[in-house]
Amino acid sequence: MTDLKCKLLIIGAGPGGYVCAIRAGQLGVDTIVVDESKPGGTCLNVGCIPSKALIHAAEEFYRISAANAGPLGISASAPSIDLGKTIEWKDGIVARLNGGVSALMKKAGARFVEGRARFIDGKTISVIKDGQEIQIRAEHVVIATGSAPMELPFLPFGGDVMSSTEALELTGVPKTLAVVGGGYIGLELGTAFAKLGAKVTVVEAAERILPTYDKALTQPVAKRLDALGVTVMTGAKAQAYEGGALMTDQGAVQAEKVLVTVGRRPRTQGIGVEELSLTMDGPFIKIDNACQTSMRGIYAIGDVCGEPMLAHRAMAQGEMVAEHVAGHAVEWDKRAMPAVCFTDPEIVTCGALPSEIDGTKSVDFPFMANGRAMTCEREDGFIRVVYREDDNAIVGLQAVGEGMSEMSAAFSLAIEMGTCLEDIGATIHAHPTRSEGLQEACLKALGHALHI
């Protein structure tokens, strides 16, 4: 058994963990990162990056497939897809990013130890790999173990019942696919497989899809799903998978494969967290505004702390914790944190929603009045601005439309910088772009929109 010592020990090399390690190394903090898998965590290996690669491939395939039916005068022979080759391409991207993350941690001076970690006490961690144990003692420990897909007892993962992880490894497009859960993960992957040619049925227990988003933002997504031939069953409960069919309280759904996306659970079991008697918030670890837990010297970041489970939230928390350990006066501020749903069309939210804060109003600008949206045959959706009535300060921005994920930085920057309607209204926006919708929404709120 070999013992190691460091100032900062990070359990988990996902987005939060590796960013924490890189920043800590930059600040001269002696850092060790422990993970039993490759650096990058769920996001890089089996989540954000792989799913966006599949979504992109599906969109390219669908554009070619649908060209003959469009008004553009384009003729194309029937396309085909080798999904196995697509998965190889996706895996190549993941491998490149794995190597990049490892190189960045090494460059910053952080050491990576591969193996499964478990607390011995608040300062000591046991790491086991291939039956060999290493003990690491640290002044500060960061729990950054992330989350895992939730399993339903009547739909256990295995065989034809998949989590998002297995769905991203399929080498063939199923003829029929049932998606249990109409949240962002289920709809992102369900839409991709529908564009690849699968007959997709979404089973959602709530009365509408994307129930955590406000209804106005989800309506264009629901309309698009219908246009893609996706069947959506709302207010429906899955019960079992028998004989190639998903059984629900609204009848049987024929399904070659079943994708279960009903949420994610924090990965806190098996690392000895329960033995530390940390204060919990339900299944999540409770933290303060510096991401410190109830035990001095132990921090927690990312999905183990609860919603919103976003990679960029974990990254920001990891950076902040590294600075806190280095002695900087920092604390968590999430007011300008954007969230993106990569459905078709995409949804972006940042800051307050309409009516969430007293004394605010909201207006929206529809893409049907936007020249760039028209030339791309995608006039669905809008950009919305939420502002305080007394001083016109922008406190929230939301949008639904094609390519809206790229507006997320503008939204968070506007709120972070404390901009007012007049600031964005007076800023020249390039024409023709969808981003003009942001300026037009602000001008509309001021009473003098130019193009509606």
Q: Let me know the angle formed at the C-alpha of 86 by 81 and 90, rounded to the nearest 5 degrees.
A: 160
The pLDDT of residue 2 is: 60
Pairing of strands 124-129, 339-341: unpaired
User: Do residues 381 and 395 lie in contact, with contact meaning Cβ atoms separated by under 8 Å?
Assistant: no
Residue 92, classified by CB atoms within 10 Å of its CB into exposed (0-12), middle (13-18) or buried (19+), is: exposed
The verdict on whether residue 312 carries a ligand-binding annotation is: yes
User: Do residues 363 and 398 lie in contact, with contact meaning Cβ atoms separated by under 8 Å?
Assistant: no
The verdict on whether residue 303 carries a ligand-binding annotation is: yes
Report DSSP letters for 342-406, one per residue: -SSSEEEEEEPPTTSSTTEEEEEEEGGG-HHHHHTT----EEEEEEETTT-BEEEEEEEETTGGG
CB contact set of 340 (below 8 Å; sequence gap of 6+):
346, 347, 348, 404, 405, 408
Q: Let me know the angle formed at the C-alpha of 423 by 215 and 394, rounded to the nearest 5 degrees.
A: 35
By C-alpha distance, which of 324, 319, 316 is closest to 298? Answer: 324
Active site residues: 431
CATH class of 338-446: alpha beta
The span from the CA of 8 to the CA of 136, in Å, is 10
pLDDT tens track, the chain, 452 positions? 469 999 999 999 999 999 999 999 999 999 999 999 999 999 999 999 999 999 999 999 999 988 887 888 888 888 899 999 999 999 999 999 999 999 999 999 999 999 999 999 999 999 998 889 999 999 999 999 999 999 999 999 999 999 999 999 999 999 999 999 999 999 999 999 999 999 999 999 999 999 999 999 999 999 999 999 999 999 999 999 999 999 999 999 999 999 999 999 999 988 998 889 899 999 999 999 999 999 999 999 999 999 999 999 999 999 999 999 999 999 988 779 999 999 999 999 999 999 899 999 999 999 999 999 999 999 999 999 999 999 999 999 999 999 999 999 999 999 999 999 999 999 999 999 999 999 999 999 999 999 99
CB contact set of 247 (below 8 Å; sequence gap of 6+):
238, 239, 240, 241
The verdict on whether residue 204 carries a ligand-binding annotation is: yes
The pLDDT of residue 335 is: 77
Report DSSP letters for 396-450, one per residue: EEEEEETTGGGGHHHHHHHHHTT-BHHHHHTS---SS-TTHHHHHHHHHHTT--S
Encoded tokens for 391: 């001083």
The verdict on whether residue 184 carries a ligand-binding annotation is: yes
The verdict on whether residue 65 carries a ligand-binding annotation is: no
Cβ neighbours of 294 (radius 10 Å)? 14
CATH class of 161-262: alpha beta
pTM: 0.95
By C-alpha distance, which of 41, 246, 52 is closest to 152? Answer: 246
User: Do residues 301 and 142 lie in contact, with contact meaning Cβ atoms separated by under 8 Å?
Assistant: yes
The verdict on whether residue 440 carries a ligand-binding annotation is: no
For 2-149+265-326, the fitting CATH number among 3.50.50.60, 3.40.50.1950, 3.40.50.720, 1.20.20.10 is 3.50.50.60
SS3 336: coil
161-262 shares the fold of 2-149+265-326: yes
Where do the DSSP E strands lie in 223-334?
Answer: 231-234, 238-242, 245-248, 251-254, 257-260, 264-266, 280-281, 284-285, 298-300
The span from the CA of 293 to the CA of 416, in Å, is 27
Encoded tokens for 40: 């990058």
The verdict on whether residue 145 carries a ligand-binding annotation is: yes
**Domain spans, the chain:** 2-149+265-326, 161-262, 338-446
Residue bearing tokens 């599949």:
54
